[in-house]
Amino acid sequence: MAHRLLIATGNPGKIREFRALFDAHVESEWELVAPADVGLKDFTVVEDGDTYAENAGRKARSYANAAGLPALADDSGIEVDALDGAPGLYSARYAGEDSDDAANRAKMLRELADVPAERRAARFRCVIALAFPYTTNLRLGEGVVEGSIAMDERGDLGFGYDPLFALSDGRRMAELDVDEKNRISHRARALANAAWALDAMSKTLDKST
């Protein structure tokens, strides 16, 4: 029996990605639902934690309690060594509170304009949090993928910083097809590391029905 799991984000790109990731990394059956599916289209959670885990956990608990459903949330960012780990937690709003992906990438290229290729090491990091409604317990999974920031953008797949993020073979994350990205991305690795928790949650729900 498939149980409903709320994906706690208003980002349609993330929701699409999670649907594909579940097919690849999770054995237990879940019916993934978006906030709009359960009347939470305009629901927001302030992400002012000091770590990815804090932000992901806060979102998972808040959405789970609001919907009365188990919820999955993630917090992720890109960390650039030459920028002392920035933008990190602030990746989504690097160029300002109302910035979009293009503005964030443009700012990063400006900040790194004088940094040579050998000093542009970077990584994507993701933490996934899982929560049942009306409980304080959280289950977490973390994933990291190493790479570097390229000198320019390339590729039209993916979203966020994908056109700038170069893998060890020189390809950009935005050049990977869905299947390959879902094997190696930070979000894929975080979900794979949380798969055991999803299986345990599914078994708990089976016992309660």
Question: Which residues are designated catalytic?
Answer: 75
For the chain, give me the number of helices (H) and strands (E)? 5, 6
Tokens of 8: 């706690």
Q: Give CA–CA dist 46/99, Å, rounded.
A: 17
Radius of gyration of the chain (CA): 17
Comparing CA positions, the residue from 39, 35, 31 lying closest to residue 11 is 35
- Across 20-59, b (16+ Cβ under 10 Å) vs e yields ebbeebbebebebbbbeebebeebebebeeeebbbbbbbb
**Maximum alpha-carbon separation in the chain:** 60
Distance from chain centroid for Cα 37: 20
